[in-house]
Amino acid sequence: MRPRYSFSSKYKKRILLFRLILVFTVLAFLVLCLSCVTNQRLTPLIHKVAEAKAKETALKVINESIYRRLSEGETTYDSLSEIKYDSNGKVSLIKSKISQINEERSKISLYILSTYKDTDMVTNIPAGTISGIDILSGMGPNISVKLSSAPAISTDVYNEFIDAGINQTLHRIMLKISIDTTVMVPSSTFTVNTTSSVCIAETIIVGDIPDAYTEIHRGQENITESDIDDIYDFGATLDN
């Protein structure tokens, strides 16, 4: 009888062990499936929130850096551009001062980098906020989002001319700043581009006052652009 009892005990232990392994295997499979589904649904949302945070941070850094540079009082229209006049006192040429413009671009880029280093580049986003459910907003465990403190920066200067009256033109010197920020989230790493254009200097250029000026008010809907081109006549003269 004793050997029979011993065999029965071993058999029961094996059955119990097999059941435990089976339960853990099923649980692990369910957890893996749930993780895959959750990751597939939440990853785009995490990327969207992280991208918004990266753009918000980049725009804040750009504005602070531009304000810091302009508040120094060294950036003026005359320091970046020069207006040439002919013998009759009319504007003949607007010359950009390339060396000063390049220096300005370099200084602003350095200010942006230094501002990034002083900015908290790690933020926590509650999981409830990412879920998109209003009642869960701000709730749940935090998901860490880290932004690169040394982004890639490119700058470009271009001119903008805006009609400011009959004989006036607003000339703006614009600085286009593009920042590529690396965003690191638990699931992946990706790059976010933020582009912003700011005016760093401007002036009003005054020209000659025309002898006659035609202004059209669209009183009729059937008037065409070709009709307007025929009516406008800035070079009209008055007969004595």
CA 49 – CA 52 distance, rounded (Å) = 5
CA 229 – CA 232 distance, rounded (Å) = 6
Over residues 200-215, mean pLDDT: 73
Q: pLDDT by residue (tens digit) across 218-239?
A: 555 566 655 555 555 555 554 5
- Tell me, what amino acid is at 173? I
Residue with the bigger pLDDT between 240 and 9: it is 9
Q: pLDDT by residue (tens digit) across 78-127?
A: 999 988 888 877 888 888 889 999 999 999 999 998 888 877 677 777 76
Could you tell me the end-to-end alpha-carbon distance of the chain, in angstroms, rounded to an integer? 139
- The confidence score (pLDDT) of residue 39 equals 60
Is the pLDDT at 196 greater than 90? The verdict is yes
CA 180 – CA 154 distance, rounded (Å) = 9
**Per the structure block, which two tokens stand in for 28?**
């692990």
Is the pLDDT at 183 greater than 80? The verdict is yes
Ranges of H-type helices in the chain: 2-70, 77-80, 98-117, 127-131, 225-231
**Per the structure block, which two tokens stand in for 143?**
């998901």
In 138-188, DSSP assigns E strands to 142-147, 152-163, 168-184
CA 59 – CA 196 distance, rounded (Å) = 7
Contact 146, 119 (CB under 8 A): no
Query: Can you tell me whether residue 163 is helix, strand or coil?
Result: strand
Is the pLDDT at 60 greater than 70? The verdict is yes
Is the pLDDT at 34 greater than 80? The verdict is no
Ordered by start, the domain boundaries in the chain are: 2-214
CA 206 – CA 208 distance, rounded (Å) = 7
